[in-house]
Amino acid sequence: MLFKVYTRNNNRPGRPVTETYIESSTADEAYDAVSATLEEGCNVTAVYKAYQYYYGMRLRGFSPGCQPKEGLMTIQEDPNGKYWDVLIYDRKLTDEEIRDYELDFIKENKI
106 and 60 within one domain: yes
Same domain, 105 and 57: yes
Give pLDDT, residue 105: 97
pLDDT at res. 111:
67
Same domain membership, residue 42 and residue 6: yes
The pLDDT score that the predictor gives to residue 100 is 96
Domain check: are 85 and 56 in the same one?
yes
Domain holding 86, by residue range, is 51-110
Kindly give the confidence (pLDDT) of every residue in the chain, 111 residues in length, as a single tens digit, with 9 standing for 90 and above.
778 888 988 877 777 788 888 888 888 998 898 988 888 888 898 888 878 999 999 999 999 999 999 889 899 999 899 999 999 998 899 999 999 999 999 998 876
> What is the C-alpha separation between 75 and 56, in angstroms, rounded?
10
79 lies in the same domain as 90: yes
In this structure, the answer to whether residues 56 and 90 fall within a common structural domain is yes
Three-state SS for 18-84 is EEEEEECCCHHHHHHHHHHHCCCCEEEEEEEECEEEEEEECCCCCCCCCCCCCCEEEEECCCCCCCC
What's the rounded Cα separation, in Å, for the pair 28 and 22? Answer: 12
Whether residue 30 contacts residue 5, with contact meaning beta carbons closer than 8 Å, is answered with yes
CA distance 100 to 71: 17
For the chain, how many structural domains are there in total? 2
**Rounded to two decimals, what is the model's pTM?**
0.62
Residue 19: per-residue pLDDT:
82
